[in-house]
Structure 1
Amino acid sequence: MNDPAITYPTPRRLDATQALWLKGAILMTFLAASTVPSPLYALYRAMWGFSPVMLTVVFASYAIAMLLALLVFGALSDYRGRREVVLASLVLEIGALILFWRADSVGWLLAARVLQGFATGIATSALGAGLVDLHRERGALMNSVAPMVGLGVGGLGSSVLVQFAPAPTRLVFDVLLLVFAVFLVAAAFLPETAQRRPGAWKSLLPSVDVPAKARATMLRVLPVNTAQWAMAGFYLSLGPTLARTVTGDDAPVVGGFMIAALSLTSAAAIALARRIAPRQASSAGAAGLAVGVVVTLAGLHWRSPGLALAGTVVSGAGFGSAFSGSLRSLVPLALPAERAALMAAFFVASYLAFSLPAIAAGLLTSRLGLEPTAIVYGLGAALLALTVFLPARVPRPAGK
């Protein structure tokens, strides 16, 4: 029995700066882990012999699970607190990594991707809202930069291990398990930034809840946001195939390098775009995205690695600038108790654009070939991005 005379100190919480960096690192690593399986798919297909259609199903399973998690659990941290939800997402991610490590058939791979999608969806809204709780400007910047750095590091790092390291289908998950175990312990010391309140069970009803003040802005940024995430989905799903076609090199690191070029350029553009007003950043990003897509398609057509790389870099810069503008336009429009719901709605729209067109492109590629699919897909996304330059509709005064 504990001696009543003895007092036990409460755990020391991290300060705001430490918590900001830890949440940013966790968010970055979640997104890095989400791209790690991509370079491994060729090895899995060689080992288990599943079809390209099944590969599309595996890709879709992650995206659908993530979207369901955002719809169901996206607002939960507004009611239960950020730290509790972040800890739950870390436990789920560790479970997914164990499934990847254990995988010996496509069924195991499918289960791992579904669980990883749920974990990432739950984490994204809670971490995104928690970052803005800690610091509105730096939190919004971290929300934009961390996912892009994670996508680039995960794709390139995994492809390097596939090409040069022993046991690539195990080693990368050994590393991630260690990293997420450390994060699980560290996250227990995060300060709570959202007050608990009743209504948690009701919040689990699937919904997309955009605060009234943010609705007009959400509709305004939706077309360019859809275009930029659709292009990101194309690069991450078919980018390695495109890189092999253009360069004639089957090395996994070639595809990983293309993903990294897009993602890391995006992160750099996000950091620079914070000096520009949000609307100007969105417009500049839309123009860059459209130009980059056209240059990339020219590189594919003429089998020019230089043009394809230049187009990818310009597309990445456009993505980063537009993403920064969209996020910075929305963040100030939500009250603290509405932030997780707004972030969930924003990421639902983003990941729908990221996943559904990419799935369709994967199916079309098997029927039409890479180049015709890429041309239709790329030009469609470029035209959608350029709608940001259409004049805004001015409502008529009443009575006229």
Structure 2
Amino acid sequence: MVAASVAVAFGAGAGSPLFVLYQRQWGFSDWELTAAFTVYAVTLLATLLVAGSASDHIGRRPVLVVAMLLLLVTSGLFLAADGIGWIIAARAVQGMATGAATSTFTAAIIELASPRRLPLMTVLTSAAPVGGLALGALFAGLAVEFTDHPTEVVFLGLTLVLLYGIVSVLTVPETADRRPGALASLRPQINVVRSARGWFWSLAPLVAAGWMFSGLFLGLAPSFDSQVFGIHSGAVNGVIVALQPMAAAVAGIAFGRMPATVATRAGAMLLLAGAVLAGAGVAASSLPLVIAGALTGGSGQGAAFGSSLRILGPTAGNAHRGGLFAAVYLIAYTAYGVPVLLAGLATDFVPLPTTVVAYGAAVALLAATAALSLARRAHRAGSPHLVQGG
């Protein structure tokens, strides 16, 4: 199931290098490019608000199977596309599927894990979304550079993985009992069980900082690669886009051995440093600084997000865990998509480097806020090891 979870994010990550190719081939405007990125986040957020708790009522497996069937539809739309309208439609369906699948996969994998493997599986579920984004961006970049039909290579390959994912979901036990209230759960809401609310709001700015930083690279890197650094190679662009989520995936696993409350504070400081480095690198036209920022801030996101899930997971039972993780991903993907939309609009009025610097400053402010909040919480608790993460 972890492989299927990675595949959900793979398609989203593949978009960044492919969109640049499509823009060259079809000649659509920058705002349409931004719309293709943003519609994914909008439909994903709407799905999390409306259906984030559905799996707590009807079971994990039905939600996951429907989500992966929608992703197969997405692949078909990309393969049939001959203009930006098709791509926007594909991204809208992709966002709905990802919104339904991401939090549900997280809950299901944690619930299926044995007590001995629970800490490891919690870390892997946090690494899967960013790892999938990295693999998608890297694979698509290589396909653009070295094949004549990159869309076919990317989405036919993804189709095979999704079919495997559907089979794997159907063969594992159901972990959430059916219970009444499925229709009522479709009312737009943030469903955070009372026992989780204290930690949830303490960790919210940290989750937002990490995913906003990811949006900088997945959403804006293709633009500043070409406009600031003169990079037009699909492979190089794919590598630069992939560096941040790849660092996040690796760090999420590496920091899994550290007490979760310590890892959250380390993640906040790494995010702060990464945002400063990336913003300074674009302002100074220094690619090494941008790469250093991607690796540093990406490591911070991995440390922060993985440890946040380790802290939050035990605060809710199976009957409420899907809704809790839906709320976490609602914050994550709001921070991932909305700032990129605003940045894309801002570039019509201010230079791209100025926009990136302001974006980095916002990430740094969120990371600093999170660091202060977590430090105060640790001080009140009297020990930085209150939560050991598993």
Distance 2:179 2:16 in 1: 40
Q: Deviations over 1:151-185 (max 9, x none)?
A: 11000100100111111232211211222123223
Q: Does 1:262 align with 2:244?
A: yes
Q: Match of 2:97?
A: 119
Q: Deviations over 1:15-38 (max 9, x none)?
A: xxxxxxxx2111111101111122
Distance 1:157 1:276 in 2: 31
Shift of 1:367: 2.1
> Residue 275 of structure 2 aligns to a residue in which SS?
helix
Distance 1:125 1:33 in 2: 17
Q: Match of 1:371?
A: 353
> Residue 193 of structure 1 aligns to a residue in which SS?
coil
Q: Which runs of 5+ in 2 are unaligned?
A: 381-390
Q: Does 1:210 align with 2:175?
A: no
Q: Match of 1:345?
A: 327
Q: Match of 1:110?
A: 88
Q: Match of 2:170?
A: 188
Which stretch shifts more, 40-49 or 281-290?
40-49
Q: Does 1:311 align with 2:293?
A: yes
Distance 2:342 2:371 in 1: 27
Q: Deviations over 1:302-335 (max 9, x none)?
A: 3222222112111111111111222112111001
Q: Does 1:279 align with 2:279?
A: no
TM-score, length basis structure 2:
0.91
> Residue 348 of structure 2 aligns to a residue in which SS?
helix
Give the residue type in structure 2 aligned to 1:134: L
Give the residue type in structure 2 aligned to 1:293: A
Shift of 1:297: 2.4
Distance 1:105 1:255 in 2: 22
Distance 2:341 2:334 in 1: 11
Contact 2:269–2:371, Cα closer than 8 Å, also in 1: no
Shift of 1:347: 0.4
Give the residue type in structure 2 aligned to 1:310: A
**Which residues of 2 match residues 155-174 of structure 1 at below 5 A?**
155-174=137-156
Distance 1:247 1:361 in 2: 19
Shift of 1:73: 1.4
Give the residue type in structure 1 aligned to 2:223: T
Q: Match of 2:34?
A: 56
Distance 1:243 1:55 in 2: 15
Distance 1:351 1:118 in 2: 12
**Which residues of 2 match residues 347-362 of structure 1 at below 5 A?**
347-362=329-344
TM-score, length basis structure 1:
0.89
Q: Match of 1:40?
A: 18
Shift of 1:259: 2.2
Distance 2:299 2:288 in 1: 17
Distance 1:371 1:93 in 2: 35
> Residue 367 of structure 1 aligns to a residue in which SS?
coil
Q: Which runs of 5+ in 1 are unaligned?
A: 1-22, 396-400
Q: Does 1:300 align with 2:282?
A: yes
Distance 1:34 1:385 in 2: 25
> Residue 191 of structure 1 aligns to a residue in which SS?
coil
Give the residue type in structure 1 aligned to 2:319: A
Q: Deviations over 1:175-219 (max 9, x none)?
A: 112221232233221211111122211111121100001111111
CA RMSD of aligned residues (A): 1.7
Distance 2:366 2:161 in 1: 39
Which stretch shifts more, 206-215 or 186-195?
186-195
Q: Match of 1:224?
A: 206
Contact 1:75–1:344, Cα closer than 8 Å, also in 2: yes
Shift of 1:255: 2.0
Distance 1:48 1:245 in 2: 19
Contact 1:245–1:303, Cα closer than 8 Å, also in 2: no
Give the residue type in structure 1 aligned to 2:164: V
Shift of 1:106: 1.9
> Residue 257 of structure 2 aligns to a residue in which SS?
coil
Q: Match of 1:96?
A: 74
Contact 2:16–2:222, Cα closer than 8 Å, also in 1: no
> Residue 347 of structure 2 aligns to a residue in which SS?
helix
Q: Deviations over 1:257-278 (max 9, x none)?
A: 1222111111111112112222
Contact 2:283–2:357, Cα closer than 8 Å, also in 1: no
> Residue 358 of structure 1 aligns to a residue in which SS?
helix
Which stretch shifts more, 118-127 or 170-179?
170-179
Q: Deviations over 1:26-75 (max 9, x none)?
A: 11111011111221112222333221111111111111111111111111
Shift of 1:93: 0.7
Contact 2:203–2:308, Cα closer than 8 Å, also in 1: yes
Distance 2:262 2:167 in 1: 41
Give the residue type in structure 1 aligned to 2:50: V
Shift of 1:358: 1.1
Contact 1:132–1:138, Cα closer than 8 Å, also in 2: no
Q: How many residues align?
A: 373
Equivalent position to 2:376, from 378, 381, 392:
392
Give the residue type in structure 2 aligned to 1:110: I
Distance 1:163 1:304 in 2: 24
> Residue 199 of structure 1 aligns to a residue in which SS?
coil
Q: Deviations over 1:111-169 (max 9, x none)?
A: 11111111111111211110111124233112111112111100010010011111123
